[in-house]
Amino acid sequence: MKKSKNKNKRKLWTYFLSCVFVGFGITVPLELILAALVKYFFNVQISMPNLLWITFVSIVAGAVVMSFASKIVITPLTKLSSAMKNVAEGDFETQIETESRLEGIQDIYTNFNLMVGELNATETLQTDFVSNVSHEIKTPITAIEGYATLLQDCDDPESEAEYIEKILSNTKRLSELVGNVLLLSKVDNKAIQAKKTTYRLDEQIRQAILMLEPRWSAKNIEFDVDMDDIEYTGDKGLIFHVWNNLIDNAVKFSPDGGLVKISLKKIRGKTVFTIEDDGQGINDEEKTRIFNKFYQSDSSHKAEGNGLGLSLTKNILALCGGEITVENASDGGALFTVVL
């Protein structure tokens, strides 16, 4: 602590002496030029003692003014430099305040705090993402290992068939997880170049419904579909993930024998898609988190997904210039709206 104080004192003396030398270097030539001009134009001779006195007062006054000016500017910059060093070393909780009234210094400090806040949020997301990915990958791998071990010592054909089915199910789950993680990473980093083609959007949505037929047939779910014939120009492969995730989500959260309503309309020059399930809806707290990576509002359906579908959907739509919102339907289910 004492060492730090001595260091600060040395810095202040350095600033002051620098100001004195700068003041001396500027003032003396100016004084000599001024004396020469006064003598030339007004024929007034300034005596040397007076000239030296004026020079001394000017140097001291200039040094004091420059010292205060340097303190106003250099001290905040020194503080900022120290904070930036902390951030460079990985401390993303650093926040700095200033008493400076200079608008430029205040803006720099405000922007610095915003930057560090964003870095901290990004670091937290990355840490959580790695942790969640590790957990989600470990779960199916552990299940596959367990059922494979049981299969080695099994002589019952029925049990063998059950173990094989479990292994295949977890393998598919693992494959979907890895695929979603890779696609999400590419979308997040904008590593995917959108390949725009013109195609029928309503036909693509019907294909997505048919592709998920085994899932909704198993739950005896019916569809109420009202779609106009709409052509759309965009990335066909990426947009298909949007419909697949939203329809799969609606089927997952609808009860047995439920109803899923789908609408596709052209409204004021924009393409509007809505999908409504027969589930329990979404509370206000979940609405703010439902598009986060790995977030699953209903843990009872955890085995059916990995919490990446809605996050991937939102990021794909953002990449394609679209948006998605969610609210509770009038009859209690969840209503997702996509605008392209």
* Same domain? 308 vs 213: yes
Query: E strands within the chain?
Result: 196-200, 222-227, 231-235, 259-267, 270-276, 323-328, 334-339
Model confidence band, residue 105 (pLDDT cutoffs 50, 70, 90): confident
pLDDT for 132 equals 58
pLDDT by residue (tens digit) across 201-230? 999 999 999 988 888 999 999 999 999 999
| CATH number, domain with residue 203 | 3.30.565.10
* Same domain? 162 vs 245: no
* Same domain? 250 vs 308: yes
pLDDT for 36 equals 65
* Same domain? 182 vs 202: no
Mean pLDDT value of segment 127-142: 67
* Same domain? 182 vs 214: no
* Same domain? 140 vs 228: no
Q: What percent of the chain has pLDDT over 70?
A: 61
Model confidence band, residue 306 (pLDDT cutoffs 50, 70, 90): very low
Instruction: Calculate the average pLDDT of the chain.
Output: 75
Whether the predicted pLDDT of 37 surpasses 70: no
Q: Is the pTM of this model over 0.75?
A: no
Q: Is 325 a domain residue?
A: yes
Q: What six digits make up the tokens of 266?
A: 């052209």
> Which of 91, 111, 136 finishes a domain?
91
Mean pLDDT value of segment 236-265: 89
pLDDT for 45 equals 59
**Number of separate domains in the chain:** 3
Q: Is 103 a domain residue?
A: no
* Same domain? 296 vs 209: yes
* Same domain? 165 vs 211: no
> Which of 188, 211, 241 finishes a domain?
188
Model confidence band, residue 257 (pLDDT cutoffs 50, 70, 90): very high
Is 258 in contact with 221 (CB distance < 8 Å)?
yes
pLDDT by residue (tens digit) across 165-186? 888 877 877 777 677 666 666 6
pLDDT for 3 equals 52
* Same domain? 206 vs 139: no
- C-alpha torsion sign, points 184, 188, 194, 199: positive
* Same domain? 273 vs 327: yes
- Cα(187)–Cα(125) distance, integer angstroms: 16
Whether the predicted pLDDT of 147 surpasses 50: yes
* Pairing of β 222-227 and β 259-267: parallel
Residue 187 Cα distances to 183, 292, 319, angstroms: 6, 15, 7
* Same domain? 292 vs 241: yes
* Same domain? 79 vs 179: no
Model confidence band, residue 154 (pLDDT cutoffs 50, 70, 90): confident
Query: Which range, 241-255, 283-297, 316-330, is most confident?
Result: 241-255
Model confidence band, residue 55 (pLDDT cutoffs 50, 70, 90): low
Model confidence band, residue 300 (pLDDT cutoffs 50, 70, 90): very low
| Phi, psi of 141, rounded to the nearest 5 degrees | -65, -45
Residues of the domain holding 127: 119-188
Whether the predicted pLDDT of 239 surpasses 60: yes
Is 310 in contact with 291 (CB distance < 8 Å)?
yes
